[in-house]
Amino acid sequence: MLLRGFLFATALVLTLSAEWPRPALAETDEPVPVILISVDTLRADHLSCYGYTRLQTFHIDSLARGGTLFAQTSSQVPITLPSHVSLFTSTYPFANGIRENAQVLPPGAVTLATILAGRGYRTAAFIGGYFLARRYGLAQGFQTYDSPFDQRVLKGALELKRPARQVLESAEHWLAENSARPFFLFVHLFDLHQPYDAPTAYKARAPTSEYDQELAYADDSLGTFFDSLARLGLLRRALVVLLSDHGEGLGDHGETTHGYFVYRSTLQVPLIFHWPEAGGNRNPQPENQDAARGPSSDLRVSDAGDYVRRVDAPTGLIDVAPTILSFLRVPAPASFCGHSLLDPAKRRDSPPREVYSESSYAHDKFGWAELRSLRYGDYQYIDAPRPELYDLQTDPAELQNLLPGQTALATSYRERLAGLVATYHAVPTGAESAAPTDADSRESLRSLGYLEITAPGAALGNSGIDPKDRLFEYKRYLLAGHLARTGKPEEAAAEFQAILAGDPRNLPARIEMARADVALHRYLDGANQLHAALALDPHNVEAEELLGDIALTTGDYGRAAAEFQQLLGFASRDYEAHFGLGLVAVRRGRRDEAAEHFHAALAANPRSAEAHYQLGLILESQKEKDQAIREFATALQLDPQSQDARRELAKVTSPSP
């Protein structure tokens, strides 16, 4: 809702900087093709071109050799969808409202893709991971958006990603047909995101790190892709940008994955611009020439149009879209909040940049405090109930919190941070339109280890709990979730119980405890947990859905109907509620009423195989043979594994005895 207002309002207001840089490609008027590669979950410091020594990433390094490497680039939010939304819209998460996975970028957003499509570029995206599936709204502006997760029935987590080679082959096929005209290609590789599944051949490249095995595989896959770019002449003609949406904790600060904290391990990402030949690095300068500290190490574009090899000044992913547009001499829309990294005049005299990052994951998930950070000069400040300040020059791993010693310095950072938020916080946040909507989506996230966000933050108020004080509880929660998903409900229940003993207000743990109880057929215990959850958050959709399901399972249809009706009172389009009410009506022999609810369920989730199947059964019993066949066939198409739909379809299509 917020984003719509924010981006719509500015969609048509284009600004052109008075000090717009000299055209980068003066020699030609042919628009430069753009290839943007996002290697999801890639820590900058695991690339050999960023100094890593345990693995050689030859192919990504080769891109850096022919371009400019930004050594200090921060993600604005270490979570996949929000980070890509920030990248494509050049807006901050607190302003655009997309702060978690499974939210939806509303239609009408102004993104790099919509702008270039508007300029006559052919646009295509090839997506490696489910978080960027078409349904989440990033497809806007792309004429081709290849995210095959939409059509597939999602079973295991591994199906939520497709290997780099597959993604890149699809992109190569598209390029073979489309690279003669100006184009914008976006490629998303998801291999480094857990769960790991690198081809066996890569075990030897990095025997002790599955993460590095995936990286070696992704790098090799990119090597093949770069070869095909070279064959098409695109390494000379195109602007190629490689980056990541966030890093990975890998144990730093106790964080295994990403999203919970805002330390460098998950914020610092690679950013490499490989310039096309005409405007490119014809006269490359030696490595590390610009590695000195301070403003003198800012990006400098020489008068000859050449680019430095390395930029050590802090930058953000939010700057990438403005940089690409300024390189193409396309005016940036007023909604863009980042700065072009090509603008030498502006940067030469300007003070060091403020780079903002945030995570509201712990807040949205558990009701704990939000984390916000500001990178400025040598220091990284983290705004939290117990704030942190690090001197990255002497302590890049952020191990020595300078607080409470450096109070005055910290105060100046807190004020800067507040100033930045106030400047870009166009309208109050409240992205109610962006909540996850369907059951299918929630199941998918659960299988990747992201139990869905139920936003207890709003229900529980601001607890003021510092996420770093709850790290143990958070990790225990992740472990319990893993146990639950891998068929160990007994062990999972024990872990959830332990969490709740220490923190009775942990709403997600309470709901997951109820799920474990249900898996163990302890229905009364499960219902009690859910009543406790609803006492904390009376409009908790998930708790209410589960209560209805428990009543259905135990044959208490009156109670089931009451729970689902209660749910419709605050979530009128809820799929589970309508589907559950449909089942209750079936059990009570009320076929017309049941059909109504299944249709309403399909309105909420058109890809529900089970709703089509239930409608088929009703039509079959009403002797509406043709319509029944259509429903069963649709169910089977949506879920080819459905034995029920297959059996009924065979039955209804077989000749009558």
Shortest Å, Cβ 245 to Zn ion: 4
By three-state DSSP, how is residue 645 classified? helix
Q: Which residues contact 519 (CB under 8 A, 6 or more apart)?
A: 484, 489
Shortest Å, Cβ 246 to Zn ion: 5
- Residues β-bridged to residue 146: 126
- Residues β-bridged to residue 187: 37, 126
Shortest Å, Cβ 154 to Zn ion: 18
Give the DSSP letter string of 533-592. Answer: HHHH-TT-HHHHHHHHHHHHHTT-HHHHHHHHHHHHHH-TT-HHHHHHHHHHHHHTT-HH
CB 459 within 8 Å of CB 507: yes
Distance between CA atoms of 100 and 136, rounded to whole angstroms?
11
Q: Where in 73-102 is the site for Zn ion (CB under 5 A)?
A: 80
Distance between CA atoms of 525 and 550, rounded to whole angstroms?
11
- Which range touches Zn ion (CB under 5 A), out of 38-46, 58-66, 283-291, 558-566? 38-46
The DSSP 8-state label assigned to residue 196 in this structure reads P
- Which range touches Zn ion (CB under 5 A), out of 242-250, 262-270, 388-396, 421-429? 242-250
Task: From 515, 456, 485, 516, select the one nearest 194 (Cα to Cα).
Answer: 485
In sign, the C-alpha dihedral spanning 439, 445, 448, 454 is: negative
Shortest Å, Cβ 359 to Zn ion: 13
Give the DSSP letter string of 121-141. Answer: -EEEEE--BGGG-GGGTTTTT
Q: Which is nearer to Zn ion, 73 or 297 (CB)?
A: 73
Shortest Å, Cβ 631 to Zn ion: 38
Shortest Å, Cβ 161 to Zn ion: 11
Q: In what order do the strands lie in the sheet with 379-383?
A: 354-359, 371-376, 379-383, 388-391
Q: Which is nearer to Zn ion, 40 or 438 (CB)?
A: 40
Q: How far is CA 656 from the centre of its chain?
A: 52
Shortest Å, Cβ 232 to Zn ion: 28
Cα–Cα separations (whole angstroms), residue 76 to 298, 324, 379, 440, 653? 20, 18, 16, 28, 56
Q: From start to end of 330-433, where are the E strands?
A: 354-359, 371-376, 379-383, 388-391
By three-state DSSP, how is residue 95 classified? helix
Shortest Å, Cβ 103 to Zn ion: 14
Q: Which is nearer to Zn ion, 266 or 642 (CB)?
A: 266
The angle that helices 541-553 and 507-519 make with each other, rounded to 10 degrees, is: 20
- Which range touches Zn ion (CB under 5 A), out of 37-45, 174-182, 324-332, 544-552? 37-45
Q: Where in 157-176 is the site for Zn ion (CB under 5 A)?
A: none
Shortest Å, Cβ 437 to Zn ion: 21
Q: Which is nearer to Zn ion, 245 or 364 (CB)?
A: 245
Q: Which is nearer to Zn ion, 245 or 473 (CB)?
A: 245
Amino acid found at 548:
G
Distance between CA atoms of 569 and 546, rounded to whole angstroms?
16
Candidates 245, 290, 388, 545: give the one binding Zn ion (CB under 5 A).
245
Q: Which is nearer to Zn ion, 245 or 537 (CB)?
A: 245
- Burial zone of 558 (CB within 10 Å; 0-12 exposed, 13-18 middle, 19+ buried): exposed
Q: Which is nearer to Zn ion, 91 or 326 (CB)?
A: 91
Q: Which is nearer to Zn ion, 246 or 339 (CB)?
A: 246
Q: Which is nearer to Zn ion, 86 or 140 (CB)?
A: 86
CB 397 within 8 Å of CB 386: no
Q: Which is nearer to Zn ion, 256 or 637 (CB)?
A: 256
Tokens 């980056």 belong to which residue?
A: 243
Distance between CA atoms of 507 and 8, rounded to whole angstroms?
36
Shortest Å, Cβ 83 to Zn ion: 6
Shortest Å, Cβ 35 to Zn ion: 19
Interface with Zn ion includes 388 (CB under 5 A)? no
Candidates 2, 32, 40, 264: give the one binding Zn ion (CB under 5 A).
40
Shortest Å, Cβ 656 to Zn ion: 55
Count the residues of the shown chain that bind Zn ion, applying the rule CB under 5 A. 3
The site string for Zn ion over 189-228 (x = CB under 5 A, - otherwise) reads ----------------------------------------
Shortest Å, Cβ 324 to Zn ion: 20
Q: Which is nearer to Zn ion, 17 or 257 (CB)?
A: 257
Q: Which is nearer to Zn ion, 101 or 335 (CB)?
A: 101
- Which range touches Zn ion (CB under 5 A), out of 65-73, 244-252, 299-307, 353-361? 244-252
Long-range Cβ pairs for the range 464-467 (8 Å, 24+): 464/369, 464/385, 465/366, 465/367, 465/368, 465/369, 465/385, 466/368, 466/369, 466/384, 466/385, 466/386, 467/260, 467/261, 467/362, 467/368, 467/369, 467/371, 467/384
Q: Which is nearer to Zn ion, 80 or 373 (CB)?
A: 80
Q: How far is CA 466 from the centre of its chain?
A: 24
Q: Which is nearer to Zn ion, 40 or 191 (CB)?
A: 40
Q: Cβ-closest residue to Zn ion?
A: 80
- Residues β-bridged to residue 635: none
Shortest Å, Cβ 159 to Zn ion: 17
Residues in contact with Zn ion by CB under 5 A are: 40, 80, 245
